[in-house]
Structure 1
């Protein structure tokens, strides 16, 4: 495989570090795709046919059409095995594992990662071996087998160091930190995440640095070390603002507000929630908007400003009705009842209790 091909191979098979919700929208395949392309494929030499199948599968994977991707990859795998092209067989085995990983079928992902591992070890491809070991570790962590996950990530880390693969080292350190966190070993978690952070900064990978800072902040928060959690979150916020990562900014503002609330710094918690609310409204994310309004209401109650709390809960109720979310609607009405009662407005408290017992269409026009 030439250097350009190997670089692409590394990118497509890099160790998976789950970063939260997917935002890509899958596009369905045309129903007649097979009729249009099968004849063309059949006329080509086997190797070229396999290359086209892999390209088709990669497109499907990028659009999160994992089942379709698996089908194409498996067809390519059959060809590579027929022509005894072991290096490409290994690549496709890894890709199939990644597709099952994307589906959340970690048992099948492990099966293909192990086959991939066998091939790359036979070929003495150390870098690919490190990738396979890392992906195995991630899959086992999702199966909550953190002891085995740590074993694979430690092997991956050792290889990354041996071949000077800094990105592989970063991924292994980050994933080791997450596995140790799941085991409750926070000292090891912090150690590995801080090492990962230093390497991210060396690579000038701002997005990766932000991800590690988030993980570090979460660990400090879990330990009750709110000052260090806030420091990590503030660094992450600065990066999110610098690279214009709106989603990342929304996430870290929530974390910052929660940490400030935990230490009783309600004014700063309100400030961060207000910033989050403004962004949510700018991008019309109604779910984040209603969640933030609820958090703001609770924080205003904590400082005894029940009028402001009521204002937030009423706005949250409006959003809930717009979203037709009866659960949030009921929560908002309950919060309004309690806040009104706390400030001595018993008539409004009774009104909101009555509204809880009424279908929303009976009062939307009266708001």
Structure 2
């Protein structure tokens, strides 16, 4: 007789939708414990039943502690429950306790321990042939490996879980796994597979009239088509996902849809739309007191206004981003904000400010070994010193930028650095060096089929040769 069982709540806060928009962990933890009533038992059996009840109580207690952020307390409750179930040889209870311990360790940042406990839960489920527990264990392992970016493992476990959901005729679970598979394949760049699985997930969600699942599948499709540069399809599916998110008052999913729409319109060069969606995303982040999300939206707004040549707005949003990045000790985002400020002040001809912010950005980029960010900071410094007529500094910084561009195999930046170096050498009267860099600039312009840059390079070479 099984005195311990779990059932997923059928309420709106527990519709399992792993993958693109809804982490599986939150759904699996939205559980209710059902302990059947028993008839009077002999004294020895009553003692066993009391221990069983204590184990079940500890499991429920751990769940409440986990939900309120008391992670260490939840860990302790589930460890005690595990000991009781093992003493009672309650293998099913042991399997669930192991799985929940995996969640606790995952939330505490100990991925190795989280995976260890989830693997034990999976092994036990297979030993006792409990397909529901096996499916739950596979789902938590998917989530763990997705957090680690190991999408091959996500696919491996998802395929196994998909077979279980189909065997159990769990259509909602099947739709969730299909969503996870689609997201994993998209992350690996297999967009046709991603779309295939997302379409299957969408069909199931619509069959079940599962609006939350439908929104997730539409979001997955939007993201996949965005990755394929099919912006019309990306916008079409994401707009539908956004409509459902607003209908369900799901602010997090709404924010994700706004992000995809913003990325699509940015690729189309429609910065007015990018700003519109980023402003909505910023409002959601502030409503949810999500400082990371607020910083993300501010960064997008600063970038969009940069393309619209509105340096005052770039500075406004970048200063706000800088404050949040420093509050969160997010060095990467701090570097971006400083770089944006450097570019904006350079555009306003405030070269002292541009150099000040670019130097700070350069320090962070080197600290983080961010070669691309380092190159951007060096470019800002080179441009600022050129405007000040300090060509020795221009050459110093652009030589470093050129080396990074070659390391990263970025031919466009390499061409730009060579062109600016040629201009700097021409300005100090070194025509030989100007010709050397001009010839290299011309070769790259022709290689990347940039006729405008080719024409500029030919013109600069003509000036340099005339000065020889």
TM-score interval (norm. to shorter): 0.7 to 0.9
**Contact 1:106 1:143 (C-alpha < 8 Å) held by counterparts:** yes
**Contact 2:135 2:165 (C-alpha < 8 Å) held by counterparts:** yes
TM-score relative to the length of structure 1: 0.76
In the aligned structure 2, how far is the partner of 1:161 from the partner of 1:75?
Answer: 34
1:261 and 2:268 correspond:
no
**Contact 2:18 2:176 (C-alpha < 8 Å) held by counterparts:** no
**Contact 1:296 1:309 (C-alpha < 8 Å) held by counterparts:** yes
1:232 and 2:239 correspond:
no
Give the stretch that moved more between structures: 4-13 or 112-121.
4-13
Q: CA deviation at 1:331?
A: 8.7
Q: 1:98 to 1:206 in 2, by over 3 A?
A: same
**Contact 2:17 2:176 (C-alpha < 8 Å) held by counterparts:** no
1:46 and 2:131 correspond:
yes
1:165 and 2:250 correspond:
yes
Aligned residues: 336
**Contact 2:16 2:172 (C-alpha < 8 Å) held by counterparts:** no
Q: 1:330 to 1:230 in 2, by over 3 A?
A: closer
In the aligned structure 2, how far is the partner of 1:263 from the partner of 1:8?
Answer: 52
Alignment of 1:131-280 (within 5 A): 131-280=216-365
What corresponds to 1:358 in structure 2? Answer: none
TM-score relative to the length of structure 2: 0.61
Alignment of 1:107-118 (within 5 A): 107-118=192-203
In the aligned structure 2, how far is the partner of 1:77 from the partner of 1:299?
Answer: 57
Q: CA deviation at 1:112?
A: 0.9
**Contact 2:299 2:337 (C-alpha < 8 Å) held by counterparts:** yes
Larger Rg: 2
| Structure 2 unmatched runs, 5+ | 1-7, 24-111, 113-118, 439-468
What corresponds to 1:2 in structure 2? Answer: 9
Match of 1:91 among 166, 176, 188: 176
Alignment of 1:16-55 (within 5 A): 41=126, 44-55=129-140
In the aligned structure 1, how far is the partner of 2:154 from the partner of 2:300?
Answer: 31
**Cα deviations by residue, 1:312-337 (Å, 9 ceiling, x for unpaired):** 34666898999999999999788667
Match of 2:150 among 53, 65, 79: 65
Q: CA deviation at 1:161?
A: 1.6
What corresponds to 1:289 in structure 2? Answer: 374
**Contact 2:322 2:334 (C-alpha < 8 Å) held by counterparts:** yes
In the aligned structure 2, how far is the partner of 1:239 from the partner of 1:39?
Answer: 46
**Contact 1:290 1:319 (C-alpha < 8 Å) held by counterparts:** yes
Q: 1:299 to 1:3 in 2, by over 3 A?
A: farther
Q: 1:164 to 1:319 in 2, by over 3 A?
A: closer
**Cα deviations by residue, 1:54-91 (Å, 9 ceiling, x for unpaired):** 33333332222212321221121012101211121111
CA RMSD of aligned residues (A): 3.9
Q: CA deviation at 1:163?
A: 1.4
**Cα deviations by residue, 1:266-322 (Å, 9 ceiling, x for unpaired):** 222211111111223334445543552343123211211123324434666898999
